[in-house]
Chain A
């Protein structure tokens, strides 16, 4: 069964550094998402992406964050200058289309630790 893949599985970075989290959504999916989950807390929406542009973003997704789909397969999340509070699990997800039978499929996540 096709799956969403994310790399790296764990990223450690120093405060103020830039990080890029990478995702390969399922190939025939049209909608892409980034979520984050701070340890012990709920899953929080960051951004959704469709037709090569951001379709919606949350208050968390400020100017420090950006997303890109540089080619036909990768979907990346960049954090320009990381803060301690950016430490979390970051999940990429994709959805096939807008039908009722199109749930979200999640990748395994990238655990980001900012020191």
Chain B
């Protein structure tokens, strides 16, 4: 079973739409959670950390449900510049410091 699973999409949404991505993780020992954004042929860049109480950064809202082992990312008022692949990343630190990546969800915002 994969450590982190995401719907690969693609998601094609019109400008201004709200879109949500989901991610599930298998290891209940997972401790930290992140969303990264990756543009084509570029490195992943940290979009936001995900906190237990949920957190918001402008148009982006991240939620964590530890009981269901589920993370989400909501993007409101989508912009053309939001087109990218969004990676769910889970960190386990009980032994070492390991990061597990989902396959990524592809988003295209259409004018």
A residues sitting closer than 8 Å to B (CB atoms) are 31, 33, 42-43, 45, 48, 50, 55-56, 89, 91, 95, 97-98, 100-109, 111
Asked whether A48 and B101 contact (CB < 8 A) given A43-B87, A91-B43, A103-B34, the answer is: no
Scoring A48, A102, A104 by chain B CB atoms within 10 A of each residue's CB, the highest score goes to A104
Asked whether A89 and B46 contact (CB < 8 A) given A42-B101, A43-B101, A48-B97, the answer is: no
Looking at the assembled complex, report how far the CB atom of A61 sits from the nearest CB atom of chain B, in whole angstroms.
14
Number of interface residues of B (CB under 8 A): 24
B6 and chain A: residue at smallest CB distance: A42
Q: Judge whether A98 and B34 touch: CB under 8 Å.
A: no
A73-B41 Cα distance, complex, nearest whole Å: 26
A95-B93 Cα distance, complex, nearest whole Å: 12
Q: Judge whether B45 and A104 touch: CB under 8 Å.
A: no
Looking at the assembled complex, report how far the CB atom of B25 sits from the nearest CB atom of chain A, in whole angstroms.
15
